[in-house]
Amino acid sequence: MTVDKENALTYGCHTISSGSIDGQALISPEPVCFYMIDIDSGKINEKSHALYGQSITDKILVLPSGKGSSVVQDEGLFGLKQKHTGPMGIIVKSPDTVLVAGAIVMGYPLFDRVNKGFYDAVENDDHVSIDGEEERIYLLKK
């Protein structure tokens, strides 16, 4: 799947952990702790979470921020990587060191400082393509 860049909405971003990715958006209205995701199914298993029961596998996750302990966030990211059930990449509004270090060490593409309009425009299942070198996000509405 490649995005038709001519017709896509385009936004600048900042690359934290590089990669060029292409997939469907999944928006989390609240922070995510990757340890609270079942690594076999890729589904969020934190009962009080807005995305409880939804799979993050191969999605481009759009998050306000990471959350949770310095021990387990990495462990979640690592387990998901081993089982190939993790997100394709992550777009985050407020990056924290725990999430950033985890993404860099485990090799998840991670982006922040996206132009504001993106967050107003993006919806679940929209097609998102990110060029980490160019620091550009292409958004094609579903």
Choosing from 18, 20, 65, 69, which is the catalytic residue? 69
91: Cβ–Cβ under 8 A, 6 or more apart, which residues?
A: 13, 60, 61, 62, 63, 110, 111, 112, 114, 118, 128, 130, 137
Tell the smallest beta-carbon distance from residue 36 to another protein (Å). Answer: 6
Give the nearest distance from C-beta 121 to another protein in angstroms. 21
Binding range to another protein, per CB under 8 A, among 51-59, 61-69, 83-91, 121-129: 61-69
Relative to beta strand 60-63, strand 14-17 is: unpaired
Q: Tell me the pairing of strands 110-112 and 89-92.
A: parallel
Q: How far is the CB of 74 from another protein (least distance, A)?
A: 5
Residue pair 68/46 in contact by the 8 Å Cβ criterion: no
Using CB under 8 A as the binding rule, whether residue 119 contacts another protein is answered as: no
Nearer to another protein by Cβ, of 66 and 89: the residue is 66
Stretch that binds another protein, among 60-68, 83-91, 120-128, 131-139 (CB under 8 A): 60-68
DSSP state of 64: S
Contact 64, 107 (CB under 8 A): no
From 95-103, 114-122, 123-131, 132-140, span contacting another protein (CB under 8 A): 95-103
Does residue 96 touch another protein according to CB under 8 A? yes
